[in-house]
A and B are shown apart, each in its own frame.
Chain A
Amino acid sequence: MFKTDGGDELFIIDGHLHLWDASPDNQLNKYGAGFIGCFYDYHRNLSPAEYVWDTSVFQKYGPERMVKDVFVDGYVDMGIFQPTYLKDFYRNGFNTTEQNSVLRKEHPDRFILNGSWDPRDGEAGLDYLQSLAEHYGIRGVKLYTAEWKGNSRGWKLTDPWALRYLEKCQQLGVKNIHVHKGPTIWPLDKDAFEVHDIDEVATSFLDLNFIVEHCGLPRLEDFCWIATQEKNVYGGLAVVMPFIHSRPRYFAEVMANLLWWVGPDKLLFASDYAIWHPRWIVDKFMAFELPDDVQKEFGVSLGLDVKRKILGENAARLYGIDIDVQRKEHARDAISRMR
């Protein structure tokens, strides 16, 4: 909950949380080391100095610290666990649904648990998806098209098997398809940040929501175009938001474009914890105003009502969360006593 000086209360849903184990014991190979090393550079590069952790803490920070950072210090009321399995890089996986479910069990009203699937798992993977839906009641999945598996270096949403998984999601009511659009490695001779496969599946699966994580950056122009065409394409602001600190002018221009093309009802706040701590992002976002020239050029605003949507209401709508009901539940739970 963020309270403004004027007494307004904003309910905050963090759209992208991780509880990972990337400690050396869990790393399988140089790729595991390279993966967390890259995350750590993201963390160091864009965080304010007082929020930069030691490498060893960053590799494995544990559930207590996470709860304190996100819900006690970080203003967040609810958060979405987005798993990243990476079993070719980490012995027990990087951050799986099963691992996340342990902490969710402790704080059932605070976490939304998402699953994941990989079309290269074929029939067995379809069964696994069904079991995730039945066992955990998942409403969303995080897909990582750049994940390696054996000799394969990635896949596309338009692959025949991926379409079968999307059909299965439709049947199971797993409506929210979060897709990481960042560095992908396959096919090598295409642009690694291609977002056009989203366009195709969004048209074919109109009752699924496609949340493009990181807004397709650095291919903002392609993403804006697709999101304008498709009613069911959303932008996840992980990685975009931390620029508010080191590059506020770019942040303003990117936000203005997103507000104009994608719209205030289709953008979701996310810290990408533990890459970044939600506290400073929320603080800076609440204090942020678009510069006059940007506001004038695009004719968009980033006022309190827009911030309220981005920080919580949009995600609540996608996940069927009744904010008033949740507030009452939260008033009685363990985390509210820690605040």
Chain B
Amino acid sequence: MRSPACGEGAASGLAGMRRDEVYAQLAKVSDPELDQALTELGFIGGVELDGATVTVRFRLPTFWCAANFAFMMAADIRDRVGELPWVERVDVRLQDHFFEDEINSGINGGKTFVETFPQLATGDLDELRETFRGKAFLARQERLLRRLLALGWSEDAILALRVGDLLGLPLASEDLALAERYLAIRRERGLGGDVDRPAFVRPDGRPMEPAAFKVDLAHAQRTRLSVEFNAAFCRGMLETRYGERTANAPESPDEVARRRDTRRCAE
């Protein structure tokens, strides 16, 4: 409970609330290759608030991480944080990257990818993004299918499931989370989320069929494995590169101030 007598505490309470809002928006930004949130991956190096201006520092596992994916993430950071009604300006700062100057000035100047890299890029990034959303769909589906198979479900029983059945299955919460993530990307891709539709469809929306089930699953397995292998590598590289900062990011100046204010209020 905030004490009304503690003015500073109230101000930093607002800052704290706004910071939480920023992080909630950042949690919606994913690495397109890894299909994981930047906040989970440790890619966010810090957030600073200065009135209506938000500075987001972000960093990647290597100096050479692909510039196109870095640009996509930077653009998503700018756009998601910019959705907050009180935010007037977002300053995205990619750090320790071979194209950091180009990407930062492009993103903060509101330029597109092609405008940022006129010599090197031949088109914008929509197609690439779409390719990786397709892979994310397959990987999320495969994790759920494999889990059901491991729990003893037969192929026939799995293929008889409807969308409306999935969240009512007697599953542990982490397995239900797999189902939720699968359904979310299925809706996002417009693959018929009505409750009476077959629960498992191919990337083009046609129902999975018994004859092709094993082949489809093996294909999805390779996609999922690539994504996970990559994610494991990236996480390891980030930890190696930034040491403990990944697990325990440094406090920004106003985090320190907030902690001090809270303590003072409590006294």
Contacts and interface: CB of A to CB of B under 8 A. Distances in A.
Interface of A: 30-31, 34-35, 37-38, 41-42, 44-46, 151, 153, 183, 185-192, 217-221, 224, 243, 246-247, 250, 253-254, 257
A185 B67 CA distance: 7
A154 to B, nearest CB: 9
B128 interface: yes
A221 B236 contact: no
B64 A183 contact: yes
Interface stretch (B17-25, B115-123, B185-193): B115-123
Contact of B68 (A189, A217, A253): A189
A45 B222 contact: no
B123 A189 contact: yes
Given A45-B240, A221-B219, A37 B67 contact: no
B128 A190 contact: yes
Nearest to B225: A253
B65 interface: yes
Nearest to B71: A188
B229 A31 contact: no
Contact of A257 (B117, B222, B237): B222
Interface of B: 33, 62-69, 98, 113-114, 117, 119-125, 127-128, 131, 219, 222-223, 225-230, 232-233, 236-237, 239-241
A41 B240 contact: yes
A191 B131 contact: yes
A112 to B, nearest CB: 28
Across the A-B interface, give the 3 residue pairs with the lowest CB-CB distance, nearest first: A218-B230, A34-B63, A221-B222
Given A221-B223, A224-B222, A188 B120 contact: yes
B241 to A, nearest CB: 5
A189 B223 contact: no
A272 B113 CA distance: 34
B66 A45 contact: no
Contact of B66 (A192, A250, A257): A192
B236 A246 contact: yes
Contacts of B131: 191
A250 B237 contact: no
A189 B62 contact: no
Contacts of A44: 240
Contacts of B239: 45
A261 to B, nearest CB: 8
Nearest to A220: B226
A247 B63 CA distance: 23
Given A187-B122, A188-B117, A247 B222 contact: no
Given A41-B240, A185-B66, 18 more contacts: A35-B63, A38-B64, A41-B237, A42-B237, A45-B239, A188-B68, A189-B121, A190-B68, A217-B229, A217-B230, A218-B226, A218-B230, A221-B223, A221-B226, A224-B222, A250-B228, A250-B232, A254-B229
